[in-house]
Amino acid sequence: MSSILILFKYLNRRYQRYRAEKDGQPYTEVDDEDLRPLYEETLPDGTRIPPPTPEEINFLQRNGLGNGVDWKNWRKYFTSEYYSFKKILGLVLTAVAITIGILASIYQSKILEWLAPVGAKWRALPGGWLIPIAILIVLSFPPLFGQEVVAILAGVVWGLGWGFAIVAAGTILGEVAEFYIFRFLCRGRSDKLEEKSLQWGLLATVTRSSGFTMVLMARLSLLPSHFTTVVFALAGTSFWKFLAALIISLIQPFSNVYLGVAAIEKEEHKGSNTSSIASNVTLVASILISLAAMFYINHNANKAKPDFITQRRMTRQGERSESRPGSPGREITPFRESRSSSPTLSGGPYQAPKGAAAQ
């Protein structure tokens, strides 16, 4: 979704440039004008703050949380400096996941033939339904993944009703366990993580300010659940808000359970055209819900970015003041949202003077 929006903005800018050149009018990049105040080192109250870092500038220029392809700086993908070990590992894991997904769709019948005996053994065992619940609890912790596969398998083996009940129990128990473990064992690392990771810090900031709606949208979005759960736990999100959002977001694993039911019915020639259509509609609806939730998150992230980056700069200034020998430190006046005079902090569009050239 973010890539589509960035591509649309890029094409729109090219069109605006073409119209301006055709009419003989000067053309300026709106995005550059919007970001220009963020380079200022003096706040409206006179406080001096350090300039943004290159990482912060790049983060400001990207949409939302900075996920997806950076279309504005696409050339960096063809430089050796960009590919650190962490990025290479991420690309390899992504390629493996895509390959597995393609192979699973191609060899669906053979996979179901292999899973059927395994599922039958599980179902025949006393308390065999506890096996997928235990697997889901383990997979809830990062960096593990694969809950969707377990949900589909539950649909194949136990059907829609019991299959969804098993998946719901495993998902809730696993996410709640992850939430409490990270809240009580890793709370001391919260500030360090928010300072180190721009994406982590911005999502935590938006979560605190937006409340339950943001928690629910994050659960429904394309963001990995084990990532968002850790953010909620360390950002101080209310457990009851988290639990309510978790229960509502069970519509996502429900769709995976239904896909498993539809797949086994099709394999056994029990499914009708209506069942096939319902399966496709369920899949499309799940994707649309995830994209809509991601759009909501990126929209709120874009609004919060200017204040978020400015606060980071103010924090660095405070640390510098305290580290000076013989300096007692200086309290920095925090920004108040009611100050609409500052385009940097209000997040509103920057209006350049007429005739001013773009940076």
273-302 pLDDT per residue, tens: 665 676 677 778 878 888 888 888 888 888
Distance CA 171, CA 157 (A): 18
pLDDT at residue 177, as a whole number? 92
Mean pLDDT on 221-246: 86
Mean pLDDT, rounded, for 151-157: 86
Question: For residue 182, is pLDDT > 80?
Answer: yes
Angle at which helices 273-323 and 54-61 pack, to 10 degrees? Answer: 150
The three-class DSSP label of residue 48 is strand
Would the pLDDT of 244 be above 90?
Answer: yes
What confidence category does residue 134 fall into, taking pLDDT thresholds of 50, 70 and 90?
A: very high
| Residue 330, both tokens | 């200086």
- Calculate mean pLDDT across residues 192-215: 82
- Average pLDDT (316-323) is 67
Q: What is the DSSP letter of 42?
A: B
Q: How confident is the model at residue 345 (pLDDT cuts 50, 70, 90)?
A: very low
pLDDT the model gives residue 69: 67
Percentage helix, strand, coil, to 5, in the chain? 75, 0, 25
User: pLDDT tens digits for 100-120?
Assistant: 777 776 776 677 777 777 777
Rounded Cα distance, 13 and 19, in Å:
10
Q: What is the C-alpha to C-alpha distance for residues 41 and 302, in angstroms, rounded to an integer?
A: 21
Peptide bond into 52 cis (omega under 30): no
Whether 45 and 316 have beta carbons less than 8 Å apart is answered as no
Residue 140, pLDDT score: 86
Q: For residue 46, give the DSSP letter.
A: S
Instruction: Choose the weakest-confidence range: 86-95, 170-179, 322-331.
Output: 322-331
Percent over 90 (pLDDT), the chain: 8
How confident is the model at residue 252, as a pLDDT?
86
The answer on pLDDT for 337 being more than 70 is no
Distance, CA of 69 to CA of 52 (rounded, Å):
22
Q: Beta partners for 42?
A: 48
| Separation between Cα atoms, residue 11 and residue 7, nearest integer Å | 6
**Would you state the pLDDT for residue 170?**
92
- Tell me what pLDDT residue 243 has: 92
Give, to the nearest 10 degrees, the angle between helix 212-220 and helix 198-210: 130
Ordered DSSP codes for 188-225 = GGHHHHHHH-HHHHHHHHHHHHHTHHHHHHHHHSSS-H
Residue scoring higher pLDDT (354 or 10)? 10
Does pLDDT of 32 surpass 80? no
Residue 151's pLDDT band, with cuts at 50, 70 and 90, is confident
Max avg pLDDT among 66-70, 320-324, 337-341: 66-70
At residue 68 the predicted structure's pLDDT band, cuts being 50, 70 and 90, is low
| Residue 317 confidence class, pLDDT cut points 50, 70, 90 | confident
pLDDT of residue 173: 94
Quick: pLDDT tens for 253-263: 888 888 888 87
In the prediction, which pLDDT does 70 show? 66
What mean pLDDT is reported for the chain?
74
